[in-house]
């Protein structure tokens, strides 16, 4: 039972940790600094928590579905609009802040832009500091400016450090007619993985195309191992 609590091994090297850490730190610093130049240091520092959390996704797990451009921009916009609307209707209380975060989650799921740090953004915009409260609906501007700058930094830094970002859009799955099926008709496809993920009815920060690529890579390693075993027996 205790073994279930142990963390799984990380499949990246320390050089990748350093690359992501530099990107995260510099991206957060630049976005908060620029926001402070436009809206003041109090407003900018109030946004540093969600921006820092977003930076972890954009630089450490940039291939994930939650770290794509539409996720951060749509997520921040959804959360900010919902939070400010709830604050106007219900006031700025802990209950209204939590309600805003929950409603923002529903809206992000509907708009296909789920981004966890946007939940924190909804909370802090309801329970805001005096400088942010004074902006009223204009508080949308610093939130979106911070997200935009962080995204632009991620686009530049990730690609300059040889990490392709954003993730390429998946090509549509072509359903072949029955008389044109591949030789291995039981091979797993992206469409099969989509159906499997739907059956599990839970959130997974991975796309069917990622899983299909992982399966193909695993099959390649398995074939290489099998060939190596054959040669070792012959020796």
DSSP string over 165-176 = -SPPPPPPPP--
Tokens 């992501």 belong to 20
Q: What is the pLDDT of residues 169-187, one digit of tens each?
A: 554 444 445 444 454 555 6
Please tell me the distance from the alpha carbon of residue 119 to that of residue 98, in angstroms, as a whole number: 9
**Type and span of the H or E element at 69:** helix 69-90
Please tell me the distance from the alpha carbon of residue 100 to that of residue 85, in angstroms, as a whole number: 9
User: 200 pLDDT band (50/70/90 cuts)?
Assistant: low
User: 210 pLDDT band (50/70/90 cuts)?
Assistant: low
Please tell me the distance from the alpha carbon of residue 205 to that of residue 165, in angstroms, as a whole number: 16
Least confident of 82-86, 90-94, 197-201, 215-219: 197-201
Q: What is the pLDDT of residues 24-57, one digit of tens each?
A: 999 999 999 999 999 999 999 999 999 999 999 9
- Looking at residue 64, the DSSP 8-state letter turns out to be S
């Amino acid at each position: 039972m205790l073994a279930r609590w142990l963390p799984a091994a990380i499949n990246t090297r320390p050089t990748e940790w350093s690359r992501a850490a530099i990107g995260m730190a510099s991206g957060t610093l630049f976005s908060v600094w620029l926001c402070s130049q436009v809206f003041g240091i109090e407003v900018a520092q109030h946004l540093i928590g969600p921006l820092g959390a977003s930076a972890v996704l954009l630089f450490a797990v940039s291939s994930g579905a939650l770290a794509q451009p539409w996720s951060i921009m749509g997520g921040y916009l959804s959360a900010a609009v919902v939070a400010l609307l709830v604050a106007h209707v219900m006031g700025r209380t802990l209950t209204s802040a939590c309600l805003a975060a929950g409603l923002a989650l529903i809206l992000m799921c509907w708009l296909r832009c789920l981004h966890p740090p946007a939940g924190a953004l909804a909370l802090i915009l309801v329970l805001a500091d005096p400088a942010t409260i004074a902006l009223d609906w204009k508080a949308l501007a610093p939130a979106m400016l911070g997200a935009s700058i962080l995204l632009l930094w991620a686009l530049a830094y990730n690609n300059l450090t040889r990490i392709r970002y954003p993730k390429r859009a998946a090509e549509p799955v072509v359903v072949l007619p029955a008389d044109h099926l591949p030789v291995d008709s039981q091979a797993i496809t992206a469409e099969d993985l989509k159906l499997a993920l739907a059956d599990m009815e839970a959130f997974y920060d991975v796309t069917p195309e990622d899983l299909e690529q992982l399966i193909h890579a695993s099959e390649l390693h398995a074939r290489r191992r099998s060939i190596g075993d054959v040669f070792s027996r012959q020796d």
